[in-house]
A = this chain, B = another copy of it.
Amino acid sequence: MHPLDEALDLRTVAPGEFAGATHPAYANMVGPFGGTTAAQLLQAALLHPARLGEPVALTVNFAAPVADGEIRLVARAARTNRSTQHWIVEARQADETVATATAVFALRRETWSAGEAVMPAGMPEAGTLQRMPVRGLPAWPQRYDMRFIEGAFPAVFDEQEQDHSRSCLWVRDEPERPLDFASLAAMTDSFFPRIYVRRRRRSLIGTVTLTTYFHADSALLAQVGTRHVLGVAKALNYRHGYFDQTGEMWSPEGQLLASTHQLVYFKD
């Protein structure tokens, strides 16, 4: 079984209440990778018997450090309409809320469709690039095959401030795994903190909130399969202890799969 599927293997303990656990394969320096926690929160709604359609939006609020070990997920459909459904999910450990999420699910229909953003042009193919070395990194980056075109994780923290923090990379699960909503949700949290790219200086950081819009439906995700997707990320602003980062995930054919935004706490 793929380690992500092990992390997503939640057990129903009561109506709308699921038990799972953090997974050592997705450990961060302290506690689990937030992307895996985001995927578990989404999974609780995906597994709920009252679930309608597919996710179109997910917001995860990281309320407190998640400890290694068991995690309880409580999912409630706050409102179900004919073609949309609104979820509130809470992640709890030791009777305290460690994360909250809201999600919008929908039954999609075929409509006029068009891109407005376009995938960066002229990118080298994933197969022509080297995978980022992961030796010495925490477990979670070892669960991704990342091939950077621009804005790699700094090889040295030389405190040479850069004038931007843009990154562009091909990324897929490692080992390979067919892309689905849960893995895409996790992947949208896999961009390294922009402040590291910008400042090349270590600082304590923590994502406080993450929002991902799923432009893809499951049919489009199935077309991507186990191939790499192109991720681009940047920051808009750093101010008084918080910065944002914004990202896009593109299919190899140039379809926007997801757009994502997060707000990150930092300490000088």
Contacts and interface: CB of A to CB of B under 8 A. Distances in A.
Interface of A: 56-57, 59, 61, 63-64, 78-79, 81, 84, 86, 88, 90, 96-98, 100, 102, 104, 106, 108-117, 164-165, 194, 198-199, 208-209, 211, 213, 215-217, 234-242, 244, 246, 248, 256, 259, 261, 263, 265-268
Contact of A213 (B98, B102, B109, B244): B244
B241 A108 contact: yes
Nearest 3 pairs of A and B residues by beta carbon: A63-B79, A117-B236, A63-B86
Nearest to A115: B237
A236 B250 CA distance: 12
A261 B211 contact: yes
Contact of A56 (B108, B208, B238): B208
Contacts of A79: 63-64, 96-98, 100
A59 to B, nearest CB: 4
Given A61-B86, A63-B78, A208-B56, A259 B236 contact: yes
A194 B63 CA distance: 33
20 contacts: A56-B242, A59-B102, A59-B211, A61-B86, A63-B78, A63-B84, A63-B86, A88-B100, A106-B241, A106-B242, A108-B241, A108-B242, A111-B267, A112-B199, A113-B239, A114-B239, A115-B237, A116-B238, A209-B211, A213-B261
A208 B103 CA distance: 10
Given A59-B209, A84-B265, A215 B237 contact: yes
Copies of this chain, complex-wide, total 2
Contacts of A194: 116
Given A259-B261, A263-B104, A116 B59 contact: no
Contacts of A111: 238-241, 266-268
Contacts of A97: 78-79, 86
Nearest to A78: B97
A80 to B, nearest CB: 9
Given A97-B79, A102-B100, A211-B261, A108 B240 contact: yes
A165 B114 CA distance: 12
A100 B113 contact: no
